[in-house]
Amino acid sequence: MDQYIVSARKYRPTTFESVVGQSALTQTLRNAIRQNHLAHAYLFCGPRGVGKTTCARIFAKTINCLNPTADHDACNQCESCMAFNEQRSFNIHELDAASNNSVEDIRTLIQEVRIPPQIGKYSVYIIDEVHMLSQGAFNALLKTLEEPPSYAIFILATTEKHKVLPTILSRCQVYDFSRITIADTIHHLQYVAKQEGITASEDALNVIAQKADGGMRDALSIFDQLVAFCGNTITYEQVLEVLNVLDSDYYFKVVDAALQTNAYAELLLLNEVLQRGFDAGNFVTGLAQHLRDVLVSKDAATIQLLETSDAIRKHYAEQAAHCSAPWLFRALDIMNTCDIQYRTAKNKRLTVELALIQLSQIAAPQVVAQPAPQPAPEPVAPQPAPQPVQPAAKSAPQPAPKIPTLPKMPTIPSVNIAAQQPAATPSTPPTEAPQKQEENRPFTLDQFVDAWAGLTHIFKDEPRLLAVLAEYRPELVDEQHCVLTLANPWQQQEFKKFGKQVMNHIRAVLHNDSLQLSLQVAKYDTSHRAYTPEEKYKEFVKQNAEVANLKSMLNLQIE
């Protein structure tokens, strides 16, 4: 029985062309070899499993090849290439800085650098996880790294570039490896599956690629795990079961139910998700991501931002056709607010259920308010017809009681203009008029507090304003007026810079344009207070005359 080799090692790239998802970096390294412009030190940095160490080995093997090909790739036939393939090359040295991070380890490495290569042109030193070196080890490496022998080349690899000393960075050519895209990961997994004789659906490989989060090594490890469970046929349902991933169909069903204003269906779907053992917080995060994917699928220019397979991309495009952009904006805002509140909520399930109910209520006013414009012209048409003909003076007081019903609409002229412009399409006025009528909605104190708390995420780049928002909260006088009391005029002046933006956000969240905010500075007692020892002594004497007698008897001094 042959020894089993995991796919991450078995299908590890051996040439620059076989490296997945790093075409720009591999082309740069090949051009450097072709032009013989080799630096003495390189730094490969990026997420895990994207090919840093692999590219370092391929680079070291290629520059030591005795008979390179016309494309300047390794020939795999010379003594140097064969020694590298058999892992017995003395020209390529690998050091794991995670376990060899002391000054003594680096000093040993510096002693080895003095020995020239026996076969090939260069001695290549690959230091993996270089950010784990100690401060002393970095300092010991500095001089050799800056002026190594002509035959020595250092390749440093790290996942945390910010932990490497700036003095080390300045001595290296830095190559930033990017996350491998989902499309590239799926393509490579299809190649591996074909080589192994395994049948895997594209939807299943898409879930693996998303779970790997840009790392090819993680993707191949998950692939091996699924092969052990599923055998030679990997299905979408089996992948969801093994990886404990929630089926994306649930998100599609939730959005469809919200578009149909069916809150009960949404609550039943949430209950089914919870009964399957999934966390409600992950459901909220996943639904918010799903709404974002639907939003980017509405336009051909932004659908490329959706990293998934072609089949799932078509499904998103179909649902995006049924969702309007304003609806998606409001839905994203609701789910983002729910995600923020979920972390501190005591009844977490109720928080999620309220968010789902709010999703179903976004489109509700459009359905309920459609017949509202029809009865409005009916009383106006019959009443003015008989009355203005004979008693013109008496008709004046009759319309008076009808006027209070009109101010429910924010602006009368805007409604008339909106109704006149789309005269050719009678379906548009009913949809626009209800939005005007529902613009100023009543709100509760809790909704007002939540809207104020959401400002900390809107103005997260303004530290001075954040300090004011976190420490103070306005007092709600009535539904149209709130008062914010600050400690000093400086805070008042700082808040005024963003006052208009703050109120625009509050009004948009509460759907109430009539809300106004007043600023005031707190008044403090400015009476004289005792600060010096002499003043404190006098205050004590006023409260108790025996203090003066005690002072004279003991001959005490005030200091």
* C-beta of residue 81 within 8 angstroms of C-beta of residue 113: no
Structure tokens at 475: 């007092």
Where are the extended beta strands (E) located within 422-504? Answer: 475-478, 481-486
Instruction: Give the pLDDT confidence score for residue 66 in this predicted structure.
Output: 87
For residue 403, give the 3-state DSSP assignment: helix
State the amino acid at position 405 in one-letter form: T
Instruction: Give the Cα separation of 199 and 232 in Å (integer).
Output: 6
Instruction: Give the pLDDT confidence score for residue 254 in this predicted structure.
Output: 92
Instruction: Give the pLDDT confidence score for residue 526 in this predicted structure.
Output: 56
Instruction: Give the Cα separation of 359 and 260 in Å (integer).
Output: 10
* C-beta of residue 215 within 8 angstroms of C-beta of residue 251: no
Instruction: Give the pLDDT confidence score for residue 284 in this predicted structure.
Output: 92
* C-beta of residue 112 within 8 angstroms of C-beta of residue 93: yes
- CB atoms < 10 A from the CB of 179, how many? 17
Structure tokens at 60: 């070291």
Q: What is the pLDDT along the chain (559 residues), one digit of tens a residue?
A: 467 888 888 888 888 888 988 889 999 999 999 888 899 999 999 988 898 999 999 999 999 888 888 888 888 888 888 888 888 888 888 888 888 888 998 898 888 888 888 777 899 999 999 999 988 889 888 888 888 888 999 999 999 999 998 889 998 999 999 988 888 899 999 999 999 899 988 888 888 988 888 889 999 999 999 999 888 888 888 888 888 888 888 899 999 999 988 899 999 999 999 998 888 988 999 999 999 999 998 888 888 788 777 778 888 888 898 888 889 999 999 999 999 999 888 899 999 999 999 998 885 444 333 344 444 444 444 444 444 434 444 444 444 444 344 334 343 333 333 333 444 444 444 444 444 444 578 888 878 888 888 887 788 778 878 888 888 888 888 878 888 888 888 888 888 888 888 888 888 888 888 888 888 888 765 555 656 888 888 888 888 888 888 888 888 888 7
Q: Could you tell me what percentage of the chain is helix, strand and coil, using 3-state DSSP and rounding each to the nearest 5?
A: 55, 10, 35
* Positive or negative torsion for Cα 215, 218, 223, 224: positive
CA atoms within 13 A on the CB side of 38: 20
* Positive or negative torsion for Cα 537, 539, 542, 545: negative
Instruction: Give the Cα separation of 91 and 120 in Å (integer).
Output: 7
Instruction: Give the pLDDT confidence score for residue 435 in this predicted structure.
Output: 43
Q: Cβ neighbours of residue 185 under 8 Å, at least 6 residues apart?
A: 20, 21, 205, 208, 209, 212, 214, 216, 219
Cα dist from 369 to 9, 363, 511, whole Å: 64, 11, 16
Instruction: Give the pLDDT confidence score for residue 125 in this predicted structure.
Output: 92
Structure tokens at 198: 């395994």
* C-beta of residue 120 within 8 angstroms of C-beta of residue 66: yes
DSSP one-letter string for 57-80: HHHHHHHT-SS--TTS---S-SHH
Instruction: Give the Cα separation of 73 and 34 in Å (integer).
Output: 9
Instruction: Give the pLDDT confidence score for residue 436 in this predicted structure.
Output: 42
